[in-house]
Amino acid sequence: MKETPSQSGDTGSSFLEEVIQATPGDPRLEMCIQCGTCAGSCPSGADMDHTPRAIFAMIRADMREEVFQSNTPWFCISCYYCTVRCPQEVHITDLMYTLKSMALRKGYARNTAWADFSKTFNEYVFNYGKAFELGLATRFTMRHASLRDIPGLAQMGMGMMARQRMSLIPQKINGLESLQKVLTRAEEIEEESR
Amino acid sequence: MAAESETKQPQERIGVYVCHCGSNIAGTVDVAEVARWAGEELKDDGVVVSRDYKFMCSSLGQEMIQKDIVEQGLTRVVVAACSPHLHEATFRNACARAGMNPYLCELVSIREQCSWVHTDKAKATEKSKAILAGGVLRVARDTPLEPMRVPIHPDVLVVGGGVTGIQAALELANGGKHVYLVEKDSTLGGHMAQLDKTFPTLDCSACILTPRMVSAGNHPNITLLTWSEVTGVSGYVGNFTITIRKKARFVREDLCNGCGVCTEKCPKKVVDDGFEAGLGYRKAVYTAFPQAVPKYPVIDVENCTYFIKGTCKACEKFCPTGAIDFNQEDEILTVPVGNIILATGYQTFDARRIPQYGYGRLANVFTSMEFERLSNAAGPTGGKVTLRDGKTTPKTVGIIHCVGSRDKKYNEYCSAICCMQSLKFAHVVKERTGAQVYEFYIDMRTPGKSYDEFYLRNLEEGVLFVRGRVAEVTDVARLPGEEGKLIIQAEDSLIGKQRRIPVDMVILSTGLEPRDDAKEVAKLFGISCSADGWYIERHVKLEPISTMTEGVFIAGCVVGPKDIPASVAQGSAVAARVYQYIQQGEISLEPYRATINAEECSGCRICNDLCPFNAISYHEEEQVSEVNPALCQGCGTCVSACPAGAITGWGFSDEQILAQIEGLMAVRS
Amino acid sequence: MSDPLDGKTFEPVIIGFTCNWCSYRAADMAGMARMKYPPNIRLVRVMCSGRLDPTFIFKAFASGADGVMVTGCHPGDCHYIEQNYKLMRRFILMQRTLEQMGIEPGRLKLTWASAAEGAKFSEEVTNMVEEVRRLGPLNWPSAETMDEWMAKEPSIETEERP
Amino acid sequence: MRKYLFYPGCSLERNASAYYDSVMALREPLGIEFEEIEDWNCCGATEYTSLHRLGSFALQGRNLALAAKQVAGGNNVLAAPCSACYLNLSKAEHYLRGDEHLAAQVNEALATGGLSYRPGTIDVRHMLDILLNDIGLEEIRAKVVKPLTGLRVAAYYGCFVIRPDYEHRFSSPEYPTVLEDLLEVLGAEVVEYPAKAHCCSGHMPSISAPSAYELIRRLIAMAVEKKAHTIVTLCPMCQLNLDAYQADMNRFFGTKYRMPILYFTQLIGLAFGKAPEELGFGKELVDARPALKKIGVKMVHPAEETGGTAPAAPKPRKKEEGLPMPKMPAKHQNEEVS
């Protein structure tokens, strides 16, 4: 099984251990040498309030509060540059995902545009089995986009529709019921295993 | 329990000694219990004394054993401690000093193979008992052996004409020993000859190296074979036969006076990927550099117009001594030597493997070796530090550490010299151009005499240090001031912010790695490589220049990345070791050999084909096979293959091994 | 010797044969690096894996081993040039023989480990211990059957002829 | 006739229908047959994955399980044209194969839906991978009837296909050249495009528009600087961001870029002599007609657009002289635009 700090004689930070355990595969977080390649490679690194490297240091220092409040994982665009460049092959992108779900579960980042976008998207996935751009766009934009943006976005939306690139009604998959059962059970298992 | 082995030996008096090794063993194994158990449970197997002691290898520990041998009349000794590769000799010598045949002493490992790899004390203790029992049953079947003495041929082979090889060769030659110095390049000097300055003293590399090259070149005790490669190795320590291929130079060394007219007149100019690291040009007939040793040029067949088109011969026309010989052929030499020193060095990491640093794509990204040539007074720009255009002086320079090192995708180890070489580059750039210099590092590693002082000196000179591994080098301008520049993007991890630093020139401090042919060479000489590809020392700390193969030694960067002082030190060390062997005149080898009992040999000749050393010959008249002990290396393959069981493998006989297995299985919860 | 299965989980005992130059050093390396592996293996050192006599393996099983692990230098890296190839040929025959005697192939394993591969060594040991644990205790055929096979053993060697 | 299981994904049904059309148009000339997965569900894009660890594996698990049902005659290759779908599906396959415990958990969840999946059953592959490695450049070259001569294209990979590339199917996560090879086979003139593997800003337009606009600007600006007539992509998200948000980006920075964003399959279709309409042309927001003109392809555009022109790009760098450049093994990497 994956090596946890207590076994590897690392700092023994229980937070570090939790993050590793909550990530699929072996994320190798305990191997981070703090070189900063991830932070240097990150396209949105400039917008993060802590660089990924700093976040990892904070995890080792058990700074839960600061980590969960940080926008860092939410600004991860999943470009995987950090993951492929990391000299220690730490699964950085996967770890950012872990931090997002942990933060939400612990009641952080609620009602932020970042989290809400994902959640809105996921609700459509859960309720229809498919993504629904228009609904996503409208529901989400209405709630978060600044007035200045809306005309532009609306215009874009119209353009999309003019080219039949947006459907007006969401489609449902036939096996929706079974899908929902599956997803619900998955969440339960996740909880139990925690 | 008692051994029910068919070949029960006459009762021996066996002494058992269990080592604590401080807490190394005692921490995980109940050593007192193991000793107690052996004393009681192994009585019937001949154990008459069983003790445990804090450090068996200490003089007190050894004396304890010797005392028992004398006073208790022990005929066999088993020590349960560390790996035989560490202390077998120690304890066998101790026994010998007490008048016992050393080969009647067995060392079984309960440290490397038990206490260090297990955590459950009860189980580790049980396993230790089993290991010990195996040793006791085995030792009872040991037979007294005499080490084999073989004469040492006084000549030495040194492979590799870099600074390490030169050092080793000179030490031996000055001591009056004859050395064959084989270098596959056309000149001595290796990488050091390419360098401009050497850290931290900044003395000119060539100035300190070339005198050594010259003395090696014309030393009466050194047979210098450049442009040559070892193609065959046979024999064993003290007695190797080396086959060397002396490649055709197409220039007769007996006639050439090194005037250089041929090079001057040669019309063919090619990029010099060798000495000039691809940054300069050379002719098709060339000497690597002016101070090359020997001075004789070589003709590069791939590029020589005559060899391609069959015409030209300009060199031949103008050579004043008629030394050009287009019909020259490779020469094959065979020489006898007693010892072999491998100093074949390293190669630099190919920066093209990291595309995000842009080497090969972005003109003004240079490798460390390119910069050495660029800054070298004898280099393509005469020491002028310029951009790839050969004219423009850079105003800002970024130096990137750890290129190809400390990275799981390339080389995981630290290349040891990069921090210091980078600091050297920074100093040289500032000195020659006054440019602003940025150093991008992960950790600053300066562990050497006046190394850290040199780091401070760079700080003093105004070099700017950014702690962060560079993410990418790009020519994609994004912000004002970036146009036409190379932008180095990295996190400045000390302020936790992403930075984009526009520079004119980037120097990649490329790491060191084993040569592409390292594995083949290792195989040729019968030694082994680590996972990284560096050659493995007999003992990392105590035998840094010996290998597992008697008579084959390693020194310099072939063992792992090193700076010049360390390489030179190893060159001298390895010479001292070899000198010692030569002075002894002969060397004693473990008597692990096979012999065939003529009475039992059926003459089936199965063993004959099995021996890779041709040590087994067949006597037509007697119709039996016989082993030549001088050639036998003791692998024992023939022993286990003999259908008649007529072959004995001394030191590892069937009886010994079967008994050991029985012992190992005797303890089980 | 007590019954291996008196209540507690079955702890197999495995005899490991190592060559002096590569795999024994791999074991040393594992030790120096303090890599942990189960204590169920007990090692015998021979100079070369080519020294491995089928008798040793039969002896190990006969003395109660639940598994046998044969290790040596990687093919091509043999300290004695090519002797581990000789072992390979022999190994296949030994495996076949054991199968004919009704011994699961999983109980006899061949692995290569260079002097540098301590990690690989401990990994291989861990895996084998688990596999043999799954297989359970070895029920070895009667001593007679074994003697028969021991008697037949030389015929294996005739295969050595190139 | 090559048969593939087919996972279109939500995007291809709507915002990337041009991609869908062009992929379908290639079936006949290349002799490919697609069998769509019955009642597949959304792959979760980056959103589900990033909030629900097990949930996302279950989400992919359902798709993989359904696909497994349709495996017939040893044909277990699942073609996924959308890069995000491709990554999510192959990532799930990768992790499920490597982690028995995870696989067990996922199957426990799937069971509630009457499904199960044995890791290793399905081989998920991206359209580009299939065209390059199954069909091969030679076969494609043979089908080219209308070379794209004169069309300057910037080959843009985005992230998900080449990173992290769990099965190591693509040459390099940093500077691949396979798409360039393909486009050259079609007769197009490939420009050096150092931003080829940079990020299109993913879901950023919704989360932090300014950050997104900056990333989009870089990609467009670089293509303009290299005098490309179009950026060629293999991912619906890349196409959407660069195409649909280009106007907002221009508004944000006061720029006037008009860079058409096309799918590589659309260009293949053109080279095979297919009509633009058949290949979903006209669905792009930034008019592609100026680009099509370069290769003499005419098309009536559904929605009316006023086509501005790209600002003059800075002078391309000259060939270097002086000290020799290092020798490079691969093509493209060493070429200079002149």
Residue D301: pLDDT band by 50, 70, 90 thresholds? low
What CATH fold (topology level) applies to the domain C14-158?
A: Rossmann fold (3.40.50)
B226: part of which helix (H) or strand (E)?
none
Last residue of a domain, one of A73, A105, A137: A105
Q: Percentage of chain B with pLDDT > 70? A: 98
User: Per-residue pLDDT tens for C2-39?
Assistant: 444 555 689 999 999 999 999 999 999 999 999 999 99
Q: What is the pLDDT of residue C115?
A: 86
Interface test with B, best of A28, A35, A81 (most B CBs within 10 A): A35
Please tell me the predicted confidence (pLDDT) of residue B612. 82
d(CA B230, CA B333): 9
Chains C and D touch (3+ CB pairs under 8 A): no
* Mean of pLDDT values over B643-666: 94
> Could you give the percent of chain B with pLDDT greater than 90?
89
* Distance of residue D319 Cα from the nearest chain B Cα, in angstroms: 10
Same domain assignment for residues A37 and A69:
yes
CB contact (8 A) between residue B493 and residue A89 = no
Q: What residues 140-199 of chain B have any CB closer than 8 A to a CB of chain C?
A: none
Instruction: Choose between C85 and B190: higher pLDDT.
Output: B190
**Do you know the residue count of chain D?**
338
Contact between D87 and A80 under an 8 Å Cβ cutoff? The reply is: no
pLDDT, tens digit (0-9, with 9 covering 90-100), for B46-96 = 999 999 999 999 999 999 999 999 999 999 999 999 999 999 999 999 999
Q: Do A39 and B489 touch (CB under 8 A)?
A: no
- The 10s digit of each residue's pLDDT in D270-298 is 999 999 999 999 999 999 999 999 998 88
**Section B128-139 average pLDDT:** 97
Instruction: Report yes or no on A71 lying in a domain.
Output: yes
pLDDT digits (tens, 9 = 90+) for B462-512: 999 999 999 999 998 888 899 999 999 999 999 999 999 999 999 999 999
Chains touching chain A through at least 3 C-beta pairs below 8 angstroms are B, D
Average confidence score pLDDT of chain D: 89
| CB-CB under 8 Å, C31 with B112 | yes
State the pairing for strand pair C14-19/B280-283: unpaired
Q: Given pLDDT bands bounded at 50, 70 and 90, which one contains residue D334? A: very low
Question: Which chains have 3 or more CB–CB distances shorter than 8 Å to chain B?
Answer: A, C, D
Q: What confidence score (pLDDT) does residue C141 get?
A: 61
Confidence (pLDDT) at D73: 82
State the pLDDT confidence band at C160, using cuts at 50, 70 and 90: very low
For residue B297, how many other CB atoms are within 10 A of its CB? 30
Q: Provide mean pLDDT across the span D180-194.
A: 96
Same domain, A38 and A88: yes
Residues B382 and B507 in one domain: yes
Residue of B nearest to D218 (CA): B478
Average pLDDT value for residue range D246-252? 92
pLDDT for C152 equals: 57
Extract the tokens encoding D121.
């059953």
For residue B126, the chain C residues in CB contact (below 8 A) are 39
Mark whether A95 and A39 lie in a shared domain. yes
Interface test mutation site (partner D, options A44, A161, A184, max chain D beta carbons within 10 A): A44
* CATH, residue B122: 3.40.50
Per-residue pLDDT of chain A (194 residues; tens, 9 = 90+): 443 333 444 445 699 999 999 999 899 999 999 999 999 999 999 899 999 999 999 999 999 999 999 999 999 999 999 999 999 999 999 999 999 999 998 888 776 778 888 888 888 899 999 887 776 777 766 666 666 666 677 777 778 878 888 777 788 999 999 999 999 999 999 888 77
Place of tokens 């002078």: D315
With beta carbons under 8 A apart, name residues in chain C contacting B548: 21, 25, 79, 115
**Residues for chain B: how many in total?**
669
Q: Are residues B408 and B485 in the same domain?
A: yes
Q: Give all domains of chain D, ordered by start, each with its CATH number.
A: 2-127 (1.20.1050.140), 145-294 (3.40.50.11810)
Nearest 5°: CA angle at C2, between B667 and C6?
130
Tokens of B451: 């190394």
Q: Which residues of A touch B408 (CB under 8 A)?
A: 87-89
Span D210-225, mean pLDDT?
93
Task: Name every residue whose Cβ is closer than 8 Å to that of residue B191 and which is 6 or more positions away in sequence.
Answer: B162, B345, B346, B348, B369
User: By the CB < 8 Å criterion, does D163 face chain B?
Assistant: no
Name subunits touching D (3+ CB pairs < 8 A). Answer: A, B
Pair B191, B340 in one domain = yes
Q: Is residue A53 domain-resident?
A: yes
Q: What is the pLDDT of residue C149?
A: 60
Q: Which residues of D touch B483 (CB under 8 A)?
A: 314
Predicted structure pTM score: 0.84
Are both A22 and A93 inside the same structural domain? yes
Residues 6+ apart with CB under 8 A from C107: C61, C66, C67, C68, C98, C132, C135, C138
Encode pLDDT of A85-140 as tens digits: 999 999 999 999 999 999 998 888 776 778 888 888 888 899 999 887 776 777 76
| Residue B382 shares a structural domain with residue B521 | no
**C-alpha distances in angstroms, B51 versus B16, B38, B40, B79?**
6, 9, 12, 10
- Would you call B637 and C50 a contact, using CB atoms and an 8 Å cutoff? yes
Q: What is the mean pLDDT of chain B?
A: 94
What range does the domain containing B622 cover? Answer: 594-649
B222-245 mean pLDDT: 95
Could you tell me the pLDDT band of residue C155, with boundaries at 50, 70 and 90?
A: very low
Owner of token pair 């000549």:
B155
- CB contact under 8 Å between A36 and B408, yes or no, is no
- Phi/psi region, residue B405 (left: phi>0; alpha: psi -120 to 50; beta: rest), is beta
Query: A80: which residues sit within 8 A by CB, 6+ positions away?
Result: A93, D159, D160, D163, D164, D173
Q: Please indicate, yes or no, if residue A110 is contained in any of the structural domains.
A: no
Is the same domain home to A51 and A123?
A: no
Residues A121 and A76 in one domain: no
Q: Is residue B2 part of a domain?
A: no
For the cut 50, the answer to whether the pLDDT of residue C121 exceeds it is yes
Contacts of A75 in chain D (CB under 8 A): 204, 207-208, 211
Would residue B6 count as lying in a domain?
no
Interface of C with B in 1-60 (CB under 8 A): 1-2, 4, 11, 13, 15, 21-22, 24-25, 27-28, 30-32, 34-39, 42-48, 50-56, 59-60
- Residue C102 pLDDT class (50, 70, 90 cuts): confident
pLDDT (tens digit per residue) in B200-230: 999 999 999 999 999 999 999 999 999 999 9
Q: Which of C24, C48, C55 sits opposite B635 (nearest CB)?
A: C48
Q: At which residue do the structure tokens 């659309």 appear?
A: D266
**Residue A89 is assigned to a structural domain of this protein:** yes
| B369 and B427 both lie in a single domain | yes
Question: Containing domain of residue A149, as a range?
Answer: 116-192
Partners of C51 on chain B (C-beta within 8 Å) are 635-637, 639-640, 649, 652
Nearest residue of chain A to residue B441 (CA atoms)? A35
* Number of domains composing chain A: 2
**Tens digit of each residue's pLDDT (9 = 90 or more) over D29-61:** 999 999 999 999 999 988 898 888 899 999 999
Q: In the predicted model, what is the mean pLDDT of residues B447-454?
A: 96
Residue C144 has pLDDT above 70, yes or no: no
Alpha carbon distances (Å) from D142 to A173, C6, D4, D32, D218: 40, 73, 22, 16, 36
CA distance A3 to A30: 9
- Considering only CB atoms, B468 lies closest to which of A35, A81, A89, namely A35
Q: Which of C6, C37, C43 to mutate to test the interface with B (most CBs of B within 10 A)?
A: C43
A93 and A151 fall within a common domain: no
Same-domain status, B187 and B336: yes
Quote the number of domains for chain B. 5
Q: What is the C-alpha to C-alpha distance for residues B178 and B527, in angstroms, rounded to an integer?
A: 24
Chain B CB contacts of A33 under 8 Å are 406, 442
The answer to whether D44 contacts A162, with C-beta atoms less than 8 Å apart, is: no
Q: Which of A105, A132, A159 is the last residue of a domain?
A: A105
D324 and B271: CB-CB below 8 Å?
Answer: yes
SS3 B580: helix
Residue B526 pLDDT exceeds 90? no
How do residues B138-166 score in pLDDT, each as one tens digit? Answer: 999 999 999 888 899 999 999 999 999 99
Does residue B24 sit in the same domain as residue B135? yes
What burial class does residue C144 get, using C-beta atoms within 10 Å of its C-beta: 0-12 exposed, 13-18 middle, 19+ buried? exposed
Give the pLDDT score at A147: 61
Q: Does C116 score more than 80 pLDDT?
A: yes
CA separation, residue B520 to residues B208, B546, B550, C101 (Å)? 32, 19, 19, 42
Chain B, nearest residue to C153 by Cα? B643
Give, as one character, the DSSP assignment of residue D332.
S
Q: Which residues contact D304 (CB under 8 A, 6 or more apart)?
A: none
Chain B stretch 66-85, residues whose beta carbon is closer than 8 A to a beta carbon of chain C: 83-85
Instruction: Check CB contact under 8 Å for D333 and B478.
Output: no
B contacts of A39 (beta carbons < 8 Å):
468, 471, 491, 493, 496, 498
pLDDT value at position A1? 40
Measure in Å the smallest separation between the Cα of D1 and chain A Cα atoms.
Answer: 30
- Residue B585's pLDDT band, with cuts at 50, 70 and 90, is very high
**Helix, strand, coil shares, percent, chain A, to 5:** 60, 0, 40
Residue B384: pLDDT band with limits 50, 70, 90: very high
The pLDDT value recorded for residue A115 is: 84
C65 at interface of B, judged by CB pairs closer than 8 A = yes
Contact criterion met (CB < 8 Å) for A33 and B442? yes
Number of other CB atoms surrounding residue D300 within 10 Å: 8
3-state secondary structure of B273: coil
Name the residue among B127, B612, B636 with its Cβ closest to that of C82: B612
**Together in a domain, B29 and B108:** yes
Whether A78 sits inside 8 A of D174 (CB atoms) is: no
Which residues make Cβ contacts (< 8 Å) with residue D89, sequence separation at least 6?
A: D7, D43, D60, D63, D64, D78, D80, D122, D124
- Determine, for residues B112 and C160 on separate chains, whether the beta-carbon distance falls below 8 Å: no
What is the structure's pLDDT at D318? 52
**Domain contains B639:** yes
Q: Which of B401-415, B552-566, D197-211 has the lowest mean pLDDT?
A: D197-211
